[in-house]
Structure 1
Amino acid sequence: MKISVIVPVYNAERFVSQAVESALQFDEVHEVILVEDQSPDNALQVCIQLTEKYDRVRLYQHPDKGNHGAGPSRNLGIEKATGDFIAFLDADDYFLPNRFDAEKELFKNPDVEGVYGALGVHYYTEKAKEQYYSLFEDKLTTVYKKHSPKDVFPGQIYMLGSFGLFSIDALTIRREVMMKKMEILFRTNLRLHQDTEFLFRLSFYLDLYPGILDEAVAVRGVHENNRITVVDSKKINPASTRVLLWKEIDSWAADEKMMPDNVKQHISRMHRSFQIANASVLHKWGMILKYLVTDYTSIRSGLYNVNFRDRLF
């Protein structure tokens, strides 16, 4: 196996060395491709030092040296990759020693186009654990049982709660097959959830097999500045970001000729349900702003207007 590990780097000077070294522990890793995305910290200098220290590390930036987000950065990494297989790793996460144990066996079968495993969690600081332990606890992010490849896409679409999840950090793909079957890789217009949208489409086009599901093969690092942690913890409205995600999925499904009509209809219903949920959130905030302007005195004094209470809650 010749694996290209693609690492988008943004604001990760404290973590990227650990990520790179966790990938280099494997002889199967042909190269680690760093795509530095105009980080505001010292990440670029750290990346340069890593290329000088390790001959398997490659460093790229976008042609304009600008900030484009994780999706376009992964696309650039895929474009530059020379390995037969692609694996992904976020710059603040890391691989465990068993990361490719299942892959080494499963990919002996040419019908296996991708393999996914389980993701663990690590809190870099006590403050991060205090803030986010209720969200992640010490649980695995995993698919709950081994499914055949034909069940992976409908499992994610129809029964996400009981099917479980797999993460991009625990995914390995045959590069040639992915490039042949997927006209679009990561969506460039999604700043968040672009990996979720990619995994949905990937599982539709490729035969993905379960690897190690009952123990972590990679670890998600949780810290105060992690963008996805902020979204998942609802410091950013998750409903609005998911509307954009399901809008993309709905648009893709509508144009996909191989997609059964009943699946397209289900995806459209999911899109509408997130639109409604988001509208509800916006309505509540609109009501709060309205009463702050028109009835601020009673709100401030604690004598909440009964209409405010009834209409908002």
Structure 2
Amino acid sequence: MKISVIIPVYNAEKFVSQAVESALQFDEVYEVILVEDKSPDNALEVCCQLAEKHPKVKLFQHPDKGNHGAGPSRNLGIENATGDFIAFLDADDYYLPNRFDAERELFKNPEVEGVYGALGVHYYSEKAKEQYYPVFGDRLTTVYKKHGPKDVFPGQIYMLGSFGLFSIDSLTVRREPLMKKMKILFRTTLRLHQDSEFIIRLSFYLDLYPGILDQAVGMRGVHENNRITQVDSKKIKPASTRVLLWKELDNWAAGENMPDNVKLHINRMYRSFQIGNAPVMKKWGMILKYGLTDYKSIRSGLYNINFRKDLFS
């Protein structure tokens, strides 16, 4: 196996060295690609030092040296990757020694196009733990049971909380089918949740298999300045960011060859978050509109639960 590990770097001078070292511990890691995204701290200097120290570490920036976000940075890393497999790692997270244990065996089967695992939580400070332990605790980010590859996409779309989640940090994919089947890699229009949107679309195109689900293969670093931490803890209202996520999925599904009922469900989820994020008066106007034009969708099981949850949030 020749694995290219893609690490987007923004405002992570304190953490990126640990991320890189955690990836370099594996013989299978062929290269570590750092994409520095115009950090306001000294992350670029740290990245330069890492590239000088380690022959496997390659450093890139966007052509205009600007800040473009994690999605475009990961795209740039994928475009410059030369390994047979692609793995991802956020600059403030790190791999554990068992990170590729399942992948070594599963990828012997050429039908396996991707493998996902479980992610743990590491608090970088007592202050971060005090603030965010009620949100994350010591729980794994994982899929709750092993599913066949054809069940991963519908599981994420229909089952939501009962299916579980897997993180971009615990995902490894074959580069060839990724480049061949994915018309668009990470969305450049999303600043947040672009990894969730990517994983959902990826599971539609590629056959993804479960790796290690009952123990962490990597650690999510929680600190005060992590933007997605602030979303999950509701410092940034999650409904407003998820409207954009489901809008992108709704637009994508409309152009894909998939059953109409799947497209309709994705559209209903988009409507649910759209209503949940609307001002009070607009909410009731939207409820009246959708109730008159699509009464069945308002009364349908899981959608109705999300509809009511977002309406009164």
For structure 2, the 5+ residue unaligned runs are 284-311
Instruction: Answer yes or no: is 1:209 the counterpart of 2:188.
Output: no
Instruction: Answer yes or no: is 1:238 the counterpart of 2:216.
Output: no
The C-alpha deviation readout for 1:17-67, integer Å capped at 9, x for no partner, is 000000000000000000000000000000000011100000000000000
Partner residue, 1:86 = 86
Looking at structure 2, the residues matched to 234 and 259 of structure 1 have their Cα atoms a distance apart, in angstroms, of 33
Q: 1:79 to 1:281 in 2, by over 3 A?
A: farther
Q: 5 Å matches for 1:63-212?
A: 63-212=63-212
Instruction: Answer yes or no: is 1:278 the counterpart of 2:274.
Output: no
The C-alpha deviation readout for 1:265-312, integer Å capped at 9, x for no partner, is 00000000001111157979xxxxxxxxxxxxxxxxxxxxxxxxxxx9
Partner residue, 2:18 = 18
Looking at structure 2, the residues matched to 230 and 145 of structure 1 have their Cα atoms a distance apart, in angstroms, of 28
RMSD: 1.3
Mean Cα deviation higher: 224-233 or 275-284: 275-284
Looking at structure 1, the residues matched to 49 and 280 of structure 2 have their Cα atoms a distance apart, in angstroms, of 46
* Count of residues in Structure 1 that have an aligned counterpart in Structure 2: 285
Looking at structure 1, the residues matched to 280 and 240 of structure 2 have their Cα atoms a distance apart, in angstroms, of 9
Q: 1:200 to 1:33 in 2, by over 3 A?
A: same
Question: Which of structure 1's runs of 4+ aligned residues deviate more than 4 A?
Answer: 280-284
Q: Secondary structure at the match of 1:279?
A: coil
Q: Secondary structure at the match of 1:59?
A: strand
Quote the offset at 1:160 in angstroms.
1.2
Looking at structure 2, the residues matched to 62 and 265 of structure 1 have their Cα atoms a distance apart, in angstroms, of 37
Larger Cα-atom Rg: 1
Quote the offset at 1:113 in angstroms.
0.1
- The letter for the 2-side match of 1:21 is E
Partner residue, 2:47 = 47
Q: Secondary structure at the match of 2:225?
A: coil
For structure 1, the 5+ residue unaligned runs are 285-311
Looking at structure 1, the residues matched to 153 and 58 of structure 2 have their Cα atoms a distance apart, in angstroms, of 33
The percent of aligned pairs where both chains have the same amino acid is 83
Quote the offset at 1:259 in angstroms.
1.1
Mean Cα deviation higher: 20-29 or 228-237: 228-237
Quote the offset at 1:184 in angstroms.
0.2
Q: TM-score, normalised by structure 1?
A: 0.89
Q: Secondary structure at the match of 1:92?
A: coil
Q: 1:282 to 1:243 in 2, by over 3 A?
A: farther
Partner residue, 1:7 = 7
- The letter for the 2-side match of 1:177 is P
Looking at structure 1, the residues matched to 219 and 281 of structure 2 have their Cα atoms a distance apart, in angstroms, of 35
Quote the offset at 1:237 in angstroms.
1.3
Q: TM-score, normalised by structure 2?
A: 0.89
Looking at structure 2, the residues matched to 130 and 36 of structure 1 have their Cα atoms a distance apart, in angstroms, of 30
Looking at structure 1, the residues matched to 263 and 177 of structure 2 have their Cα atoms a distance apart, in angstroms, of 25
- The letter for the 2-side match of 1:272 is R
Q: Secondary structure at the match of 1:91?
A: coil
Looking at structure 2, the residues matched to 283 and 37 of structure 1 have their Cα atoms a distance apart, in angstroms, of 38
